[in-house]
Structure 1
Amino acid sequence: MNKALLVIDYTNDFVANDGALTCGKAGQAIEQTLASLTEQFIKDGEFIVFSCDLHEENDEYHPESKLFPPHNIRDTEGRELFGSLQNIFKDHQDQNNILWMDKTRYSSFAGTNLAQLLAERGIQEIHLVGVCTDICVLHTAVDAYNKGFKTYIYENGVASFDEKGHKWALKHFKNTLGAEVIAFKS
């Protein structure tokens, strides 16, 4: 185990047609890539983190409450993984290389022990997929850069509700953060 896959915010609220803050079709279009990539990392025995946004109902003090409608509320269907990822997680959640991680900020590193978990496992290479390319994936990539991780972004494994932001972030990953933007081929 020398690399990790971070599946970021691939939940019903961010991807389903009726999600509270959905990417809709753009998010749904990456489902097969995420499922195949996750299965490949499972098969290879690599570390996988399902890093998912967590909010409390009626939390007026969280900064996102002023920016976005309520989403990913604790104990709601909106917070469950979207589509086939939910079954993949349920089928493998008891394995010691599969982890569900709550996060309350855009970055998967902010306020979590992710960096420690990666260090304990000797992981210095991370692979990012999920939504939104220009928000949570971006902020995770910035923190990964600042912490010295070799970072890969799957261009066919990220999506956003803002196409211009999505395209800008893909360039930023490569040109500013030195990440490798690649396509997953199953």
Structure 2
Amino acid sequence: MAQMSEILLVVDMQNGFMSEKCRHVIPTVIKLIERFLAAGKLVGFTRFINTADSNYVKLIHWSRLIKEPETSIIDELQPYINNIFDKYYYSAFTEKFSSFIFLHQISKIYLCGVETDSCILKTAIDSFERSIEPVIIEDACFSDGGQQAHDAGIFLLKRNIGKNQIKLTDEVIEKMS
């Protein structure tokens, strides 16, 4: 298992998050998934599930992604789904995901999906703080808040985890070859 030290984590690519603003990343995410799988690397998926009594509902008055079909991973990714991690907050670092990371001796997490300015940002910082190298694949991420929210997320990520941790799909794929 020791050689399986990297994972591509596809964050919250769910019906409820995939507005027209975000759909342009789908082909890029699929390309990454296929390359990682072909290279024998791990691929995982997070699925955000909101609850009626969450702080999302109470504090920011956001009550989406509570049930199907909003919580389902988009149809385009269904053929690839394995290693799925449900979460009830921004970060992927649930008990189940943390155990998986430990079991597979993951030392690097490549992040793609949505939302750059919340779930990807929080997961990357949590990864960084656990001494696991986070790599953000910038052209495979986006935010339902639009370009400004995505750019803000990237700006904060560069500041908090290092500008060299932000890569493009082609750079990541080239390094794998």
TM-score (norm 1): 0.82
Deviation string, structure 1 residues 31-50 (Cα, Å, up to 9, x no partner): 00111111111112212211
CA distance in 1, matches of 2:91, 2:130: 13
Name stretches of at least 5 consecutive residues in structure 2 with no aligned partner.
none
How many residues in Structure 1 have an aligned counterpart in Structure 2?
165
Task: Give SS of 2:86's match.
Answer: strand
Runs of 4+ in structure 1 off by over 6 angstroms are none
Match of residue 140 from structure 1: 123
Name stretches of at least 5 consecutive residues in structure 1 with no aligned partner.
16-23, 90-97
Q: 2:155 aligns with which of 171, 181, 186?
A: 171
Task: Give SS of 1:152's match.
Answer: strand
User: What is the 5 A alignment of 1:108-127?
Assistant: 108-109=92-93, 111-127=94-110
- What letter is aligned with 2:86? D
Is 2:49–2:88's contact at 8 Å kept on the other side of the alignment? yes
Match of residue 84 from structure 2: 100
Task: Give SS of 2:70's match.
Answer: helix
TM-score (norm 2): 0.86
Mapped pair 1:82 → 2:74: yes
CA distance in 2, matches of 1:155, 1:50: 17
CA distance in 2, matches of 1:116, 1:87: 25
- Structure with higher helix content: 2
Deviation string, structure 1 residues 25-67 (Cα, Å, up to 9, x no partner): 33100000111111111112212211110134xx2x2101132
Quick check: 167-176 or 25-34, which moved more?
Answer: 167-176
CA distance in 1, matches of 2:42, 2:61: 31
Is 1:31–1:83's contact at 8 Å kept on the other side of the alignment? no
Match of residue 21 from structure 1: none
CA distance in 2, matches of 1:172, 1:85: 28
Task: Give SS of 1:5's match.
Answer: strand
- What letter is aligned with 1:159? F
